[in-house]
């Protein structure tokens, strides 16, 4: 039997779980507040650009609810039926968010084209301007919170939520500009035109969200710079003669790293195990959220290897 060294599934610490939960609840709270404000403002102004922002916020609420659910599932520890944890629930949440946001973009596009055909002025602009300014402050505050949480947890679901809220910041600025130009200069056509700009921004956020989600769901390798760092750490041990068949992937905030170490074929099983443990510890220091699995091979043993 050849030695194996493996670390148990890494779980998030209580502080990380708390941060992710706070971000999830904050997202839902902000979405509810923005929906209430924008509904009032839309009835008061009739602005299509503002309607586009309201539609986005309505679907933000649904997306934020998906995020909150995904976070609760993702942070639950590994169990008998899910030995690798539940991190991929964040990838699923990202795909659901992308579908939801695409739907909102389609609705806004239809409304904007209709208003291009029959332009009309924005009414009660002061109400719309005040509401969108308040929305801008709330959204920026939420994005800053989400950015902090992602930096400290690596949560894909929170990152996806932050991506479309960042687009909301640009959306809100576009609406503010539309209201100002429409009322001050009579450029009523800019209201639906800027709504279409908003649609383009929304679709770009969809692209970034679904790309990150699919990378997780399809077990994409870690970045080349990370793989190179892992190999450097392993080869730095003076008794390691080589490394091959490295495989890596991420699942939500967790990472999985496995590879074969080539050691002296005359080495004792005990010494091989000690070396694997030492290398594992070094890799773990650089990738604290990872599960590390090391397989020891006799150096020079002919065998089939991954071509990658």
Within 8 A by CB and 6+ apart from 64, the residues are: 24, 27, 28, 30, 31, 161
Within 8 A by CB and 6+ apart from 301, the residues are: 265
State the virtual CA torsion across 230, 235, 237, 240 in degrees, nearest 10: 130
CA distance 89 to 69: 9
Mind listing the pLDDT tens digit of every residue in the chain (308 residues)? 334 343 334 455 678 778 888 888 898 898 899 889 888 888 887 777 677 677 777 777 877 777 777 666 666 666 676 656 666 776 777 787 778 778 777 877 877 787 778 776 666 777 878 888 888 999 999 999 999 988 887 776 787 778 768 777 877 787 788 778 777 777 777 777 877 877 787 787 778 778 877 877 777 888 889 999 999 999 999 999 999 999 998 776 678 899 999 999 999 999 999 999 999 999 988 888 788 999 999 988 777 777 76
State the pLDDT at residue 82: 63
CA distance 98 to 216: 15
State the pLDDT at residue 5: 40
* DSSP letters for 47-83: -HHHHHHHHHHHHHHHHHHHHHHHHHHHTSPP-SS-T
Q: What does each C-alpha distance from 253 to 93, 131, 150, 153, 209 come to in angstroms?
A: 14, 36, 9, 6, 15
Q: Which residues pair with 255 in a beta bridge?
A: 250, 290
State the pLDDT at residue 144: 93
- Check: CB of residue 256 under 8 Å from CB of residue 84: yes
Q: Could you give the domains of the chain?
A: 14-217 (1.20.1510.10), 221-298 (3.30.70.1350)
DSSP 39: H
Q: What does each C-alpha distance from 227 to 221, 232, 245, 286 come to in angstroms?
A: 8, 9, 11, 11
CA distance 200 to 49: 13
Report residue 108 as tokens: 């806004």
Q: Which is it for strands 242-251 and 4-6: parallel, antiparallel or unpaired?
A: unpaired
State the pLDDT at residue 263: 94
CA distance 6 to 172: 49
CA distance 259 to 246: 4
Handedness of CA 286, 291, 296, 300 (dihedral sign): negative
State the pLDDT at residue 260: 93
């Amino acid at each position: 039997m050849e030695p194996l060294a493996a670390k148990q599934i890494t779980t998030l610490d209580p502080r990380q779980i708390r941060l992710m939960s706070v971000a999830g609840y904050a997202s839902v709270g902000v979405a509810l507040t923005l929906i209430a404000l924008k509904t009032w403002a839309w009835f008061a102004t009739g602005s299509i650009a503002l309607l586009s922002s309201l539609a986005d916020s309505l679907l933000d609420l649904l997306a934020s609810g998906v995020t909150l659910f995904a976070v609760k599932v993702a942070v639950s520890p590994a169990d008998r039926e899910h030995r690798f944890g539940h991190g991929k629930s964040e990838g699923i949440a990202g795909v659901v968010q992308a579908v939801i946001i695409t739907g909102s973009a389609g609705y806004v596009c239809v409304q904007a084209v209709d208003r291009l055909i029959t332009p009309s002025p924005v009414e009660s602009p002061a109400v719309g301007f005040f509401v969108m300014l308040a929305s801008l402050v709330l959204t920026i505050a939420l994005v800053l919170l989400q950015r902090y949480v992602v930096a400290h947890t690596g949560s894909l679901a929170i990152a996806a939520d932050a991506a479309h809220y960042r687009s909301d910041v640009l959306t809100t600025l576009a609406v503010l500009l539309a209201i100002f130009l429409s009322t001050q200069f009579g450029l009523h056509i800019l209201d639906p035109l800027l709504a279409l700009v908003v649609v383009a921004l929304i679709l770009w956020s969809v692209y970034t969200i679904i790309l990150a989600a699919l990378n997780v769901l399809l077990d994409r390798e870690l970045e080349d710079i990370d793989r190179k760092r892992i190999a450097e750490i392993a080869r730095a041990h003076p008794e390691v003669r080589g490394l091959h068949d490295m495989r890596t992937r991420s699942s939500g905030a967790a990472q999985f790293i496995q590879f074969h170490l080539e050691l002296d074929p005359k080495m004792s099983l005990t010494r091989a195990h000690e070396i694997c443990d030492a290398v594992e510890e070094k890799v773990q220091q650089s990738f604290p959220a990872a599960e590390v699995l090391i397989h020891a091979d006799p150096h020079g043993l002919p065998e089939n290897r991954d071509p990658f």
